[in-house]
Structure 1
Amino acid sequence: MSELPNPLQDAVPQPLAAATSRPSMLMPALAAGLAVCTLVALVLAWQSNSRLRNLEQELVRRQDSSQAAAQEAANQAKQSQDLSRDTAAKVALLDARLAEVSLQRGQLEELIQSMSRSRDENVVGDIEASLRVALQQTSITGSAEPLVAALKQADERLVRYKQPRLEGVRRAVVRDLDRVKAISVVDVSTLSIKLDEVVRLVDELPLLSAADKAGEPAVARQARPDTKPAPKPAAKPIEPGMAGWWELVQQRWGETAGLAWQEAKSLLRVTRINHPEAMLMAPEQAYFLRENIKLRLLNARLALLSRQFETAQSDLRDTLGMLDRYFDARSRKVAAANELLRQVVGQARQVAVPRPDDTLAALAAAGR
């Protein structure tokens, strides 16, 4: 017979059964945990021991290196002491030599200053001498070109020299150069060209004593053989009989009387002449008159080239008087020659060239 289930036994809870079996299961777990902890402790102890051993080795190595470094430092300190003693000796020697060099440098600077001072004096003397020579040339020739050239040369020399001590001299040179350039200089070459043109025209100028074709009356021009006669009007046909012959006689008589009257008028000319000697000039005298005018113009040209403006003015005025007296003023060539001569007379004048007083004063101040 099967046993009936015991309801009381089945009613016993499961946790109580588990609680009764837990002590038997905790013991192996505790043993395993202790073993693991022991192993971890052993590993940690071994690591600590190996780290300590490494630290000891590192300390020993560092101690050895520090001892070697200390020994090397001691050697270097000894070498430094020796080097410092040598350096001190060398510095003392260098100080002595520096003092000697400083003394020599002072002497050399004094020598250079003395040489520079003498060079400045030479430059000042050369510039002053060139300016005085240029002043003499200007006073002789009456031209500002020598003085302008001397001032330009002095300015260029001072620019190349670049001495601050002579800067005042250079400024004075520039001022005097501007003042000299500001004056109107006579253009001698242009005036000479104008005089040459007048000399060329002298042979072509018409005289008052020569026949003036443009000024003669029409009757006189018709009476001259070199002029072509005016065409005669066509004669009227003559009628037969006495009336025709009488008309022919009157026509011939009128033509003959007209020719006679033209010839009579060509023999007499009425002209207003201010200088009678101009009409009484012979052809050979006209040749010498033209040559005399050429000589006066050439003398005026030479006077202009030599800067003798008073002599040139005198010759030019005499030439203008001759042109007005002996030549026909109605001619265009005579008018052109008069105009050229008047232009030369107006421009050929003595110009007062200013003296370079500022430069000479600055040179005198710099030479002291």
Structure 2
Amino acid sequence: MSTEPAFEPAKSPAAAPRPGPDAALRAGLWLLGMLALAGLVSSLLLWQRLSSIQEQLARQSADAGAQSIEARTLAREAQELARDTAARLALTETRVAEVALQRSQLEELMHSLSRTRDENLVVDIEAGLRLAQQQSQLTGSLQPLVAALKSAHQRIERAAQPRLAPVQRAIAQDLESLERAKVTDTAGLLGRLDDLVRQVDELPLLAAVARPHDMRGAGQLPEAENPPADEPAWRALLRRAWDGARDEARGLVRVRRIDHPDAVLVAPDQAFFLRENLKLKLLNARLALLARRTDSARADLQGANAALAKYFDPTSRRTQGAIAALSQLQGHIQSAELPALDNTLAALATAAAGR
């Protein structure tokens, strides 16, 4: 057997370590990082783009909303303008109809000018009487009617036409009826209503409890007897104390008839509003008289009368006087209707027809 040492070949440079899987992994990671960075950058750019698009959409939506609101406003204004135009058109048509009616009346009046003298006189008198009726209704006075009838009577007398004699007799009858008619003195009624309004604060309520000295002043408690001149001082002092205690005891318990129990439960703060409500009813009646609305005035006076009878002390002279004044006012308003000139107008119509 040979004892030579075994020969080991020397390591050549070609046997250097080759890049293994670690280098490939690093390259892959680096590539993934670059891709991730690129994806992140693209995501940021895309997010920024989406944000700008979203802002643009929001602005467009706001602009669209504003335009929608403006469009609705314009549509509403257009509708209002259309309604206004329709109303004006209707008013214009009404005025045109009135003008046409007035034109027809003027044409009829022009035709009547070509009639005879008697027919013209009848038409003129009738127009004057109707105008006087309107003036009387507006003013509440009979003077326009009386003046128109007297003027018509004088004109018929000057005409001296036998066929107008029935008209003259009818005018005389209507003049007599006007002289017998009773017309409401509006100025006097307004003054009495003002007096009642001023008296409302002084009217005693049914819920108010009178004091002993007030009851004595009203005659509900007897006056104390006059002491003798030679009465001792101590006896006078005892007598006054006794009278005071007796009056207080009598004032503690009061028995009377109450038709409306809820009227006694009116609180002091409600009393103010109750009086103000009564004043408003009287003022409404005053306005109704000025506007010639007799039905409304009667209703307001009836409501005020009911409130007086329900919530105020009926035994008080002031309350009784106020109720009596309201009753008188209602009576005057009921007789405020103006008489009609039926006889004269019927006679004029007969004369105009030629019968």
Q: TM-score, normalised by structure 2?
A: 0.51
Note the C-alpha offset of 1:268: 4.3
Secondary structure of the structure 2 residue equivalent to 1:348: helix
- Letter in structure 2 aligned against 1:215: M
- Residues 1-368 of structure 1 mapped to structure 2, 5 A cutoff: 118-135=116-133, 146-159=144-157, 161-164=158-161, 167-168=164-165, 169-213=167-211, 214-215=214-215, 233=235, 265=249, 268-272=252-256, 273-350=258-335, 351=337, 353-362=339-348, 364-365=350-351, 368=354
- Structure 2 gap ranges (5+): 1-112, 222-232
> 1-side partners of 2:327 and 2:351: how far apart?
48
| Structure 1 position 331, deviation (Å) | 1.9
Matches of 2:180 and 2:246, distance apart in 1: 67
Return the letter of the residue paired with 2:328. Answer: Q
Return the offset for 1:349: 0.8
Cα 1:233–1:311 shift into 2, 3 Å: same
CA distance in 1, matches of 2:349, 2:289: 34
Q: Which amino acid aligns with 2:346?
A: L
Which secondary structure does the structure 2 equivalent of 1:353 belong to?
coil
- Root mean square deviation of aligned Cα: 4.1
Task: For residue 343 of structure 1, report the CA deviation from its aligned partner.
Answer: 1.2
1:146 Cα deviation from its structure 2 partner: 4.7
Could you list the per-position Cα deviations for residues 264-312 of structure 1 after superposition, in whole angstroms to 9, with x for gaps in the alignment? 9589434433323333223332111111111111222232333333222
How far is the alpha carbon of 1:356 from its aligned partner?
2.8
Query: Taking structure 1 as reference, are residues 362 and 233 closer, same or farther at Cα in structure 2, changes over 3 Å only?
Result: same
Shift of 1:157: 3.7
TM-fit CA distance, 1:191:
2.6
Which entry has the higher C-alpha Rg, 1 or 2? 1
Shift of 1:202: 0.9
3-state SS of 1:210 partner: coil
Structure 1 CA distance, aligned partners of 2:205 and 2:266?
A: 9
Q: Per-residue displacement from partner, 1:199-241 (whole Å, max 9, x unpaired)?
A: 12111112223331333897xxxxxxxxxxxx75389xxxxxx
Moved more, 310-319 or 136-145: 136-145
Aligned-residue offset at 1:327: 1.5
Return the alpha-carbon distance in structure 1 between the equivalents of residues 323 and 200 of structure 2. 11
**Structure 2: distance between partners of 1:120 and 1:337:** 56
Q: Pick closer, same or farther for the CA change 1:152–1:200 going to 2, 3 Å.
A: farther
| Structure 1: distance between partners of 2:248 and 2:172 | 79
Counting matched residue pairs gives 224
Distance 1:146 1:356, change over 3 A: farther
SS in 1 for 2:182: coil
SS at match of 1:328: coil
From the superposition, tell whether residues 173 and 265 of structure 1 become closer, same or farther in structure 2 (CA, over 3 Å). Answer: closer
